[in-house]
A and B are shown apart, each in its own frame.
Chain A
Amino acid sequence: DDGVLRVGTEGDAPQFSMADANGNVTGFDADIANGICAELKVKCKFVVQTFSSLVPSMDKDRFDIIISGLGITDERMKKIDYSIPYATTPQYFVVPKDSPLVGLKSLAEIEKALAGKTIGVVNGTTYAKFIKKHIPTADLKTYDATTQQNSDLGTGRLDAAFGDSPTWVDFLGSPDGANFARIDVKVTGADDHEALGYGMGVGLRKSNTELKAKLDAALCEMINNGKVKAASENWFKDDYTIPCKK
């Protein structure tokens, strides 16, 4: 309204949502937000807050939408509404380079091999649920940030970690990641929609149908005109766009 769209975002997620020292937000989420604002001919105003306060703050009208790489799941849809999904990143397991697991060929094989092992995932994602469901015997560790998870991989506290491909591209490319490799089995939402959801969407308050319609239209336009792809390739070196169904 009054020409400003207030966007809640985390600000401390590398590549997705990064608030710099002056509070300016950049990253994939920021590109999506700016794109939407441009489509809707409004100005974007970013509000940077901790992840756990994003949803209550939006409920109390501190901002209108959340763009913070939110994965769409049925469970979460009970609390907030989502736009159409605009992107999805595939997930991979990462293990030490010399591990026999590196050569595994399918999710089923991985599930069997990792039974009883220690696996790390990052909070704020739905991966914990996925691991719990598929490898119930695993010792699951949840981290607040990928850097922490990767640090534990490095010190050998973890046998494997599960995360999305941008994270791994980043980590495996860094010196710390030199001794690790990802298992080349792409896990996507299609493998288990209930646990992994339907890709990323913009979050908004329940029953705000008018805004949802506008967002959906704007996102669809951005998907179709390649803006999402451009953003994805800019930040992730890959195209993770989900086609617009309409």
Chain B
Amino acid sequence: MLNDIWVLMVEKGWTLALLRGAGVTILIGVLGVVIGLASAIPLAILRWRRLPVLSQLVDAYSIVIRGVPGLLVIYLLFFGSVDWVQKIASAFGYADSAENAYPFIVGIIAIAAISCAYSVEVIRGALQAVPVGLLEAARSLSLSPRLTFFRVTLPLALRLALGGINNVWQMTIKDTSLVSVVGMQELMRTAAVAAGITRSPLLFYCLAAAMFFAMTAVSQILFNRAEKYFNRGFSRR
């Protein structure tokens, strides 16, 4: 039994393959969340300020992206655009690099688009929960709207949004498995291939799960630190 595992993991090189997959997962997950969050903040503001039309558009975007399976998002993004991207790239003589880089780019865009839709709701909810009086105080001191936002609203909202952002991150790191449909070998896909051909599904899936767990355990430490930081000044309960 142990001998079999040794052969699989070391001699057949699956450990390395899983680690490579984990690398892809982390890269796409982190980029996806960071880009998603960065773009979610302005969108959430539009929604929070209830700007006509724009706020409805944000709403529609967030409902549709949250509503359809992630797989479709990436399918449509990729298969809907790969034709003309390929054509344009060929016209400029970059056919090969487009062929290789495009799935990666689309993967990140799709993951970012999904995590953005989730983050919009989280941040909007947090913005709405910031007590009005605190913003009025800033306004009456004639802090500019931009400063009011960055010095008062955002720090207070981030404290409320932290748990939600953590949830989005944990979902996104696992949503990265979607990029396998455009041919990228991330962690889950590597585990699935290994499970299929070595006939040890539980072993490989649990290994993948353990790796995910390790990633989120590390991120949890960071989130705990952030929570402590944002909660300074607030009485505990």
Contacts and interface: CB of A to CB of B under 8 A. Distances in A.
A and B in direct contact, judged by CB atoms within 8 A: yes
A52 B181 contact: yes
A13 B196 contact: yes
Contacts of A61: 83, 86
B105 to A, nearest CB: 15
Contacts of A13: 196-197
Interface stretch (B12-20, B142-150, B159-167, B210-218): B12-20
Interface in A40-94: 47-50, 52-53, 56-57, 59-62
A47 B183 contact: yes
Interface string B171-190: 00000000011110100010
A209 interface: no
A21 B12 contact: yes
Nearest to B8: A21
Nearest to B180: A50
A147 B181 contact: no
A14 B197 contact: yes
B17 A22 contact: yes
A18 interface: yes
B194 interface: yes
A61 B87 CA distance: 12
Given A57-B183, A60-B79, A20 B12 contact: yes
Contacts of B194: 21
B26 interface: no
A14 B194 CA distance: 10
Interface in B85-120: 86
Contacts of B14: 21
Contacts of A113: none
A53 B181 contact: yes
B13 to A, nearest CB: 4
Contacts of A50: 180-181, 189, 192
Contacts of A57: 79, 183
Given A11-B193, A50-B180, 20 more contacts: A12-B192, A12-B193, A12-B195, A12-B196, A13-B196, A13-B197, A19-B197, A20-B12, A20-B13, A21-B14, A21-B16, A47-B183, A48-B183, A49-B180, A50-B189, A53-B75, A53-B182, A57-B183, A59-B79, A60-B82
List of 6 A-B pairs having minimum Cβ-Cβ separation, nearest first? A12-B196, A21-B13, A21-B17, A18-B197, A53-B181, A12-B193
Interface of B: 12-14, 16-17, 75, 79, 82-83, 86, 180-183, 185, 189, 192-197, 199, 201
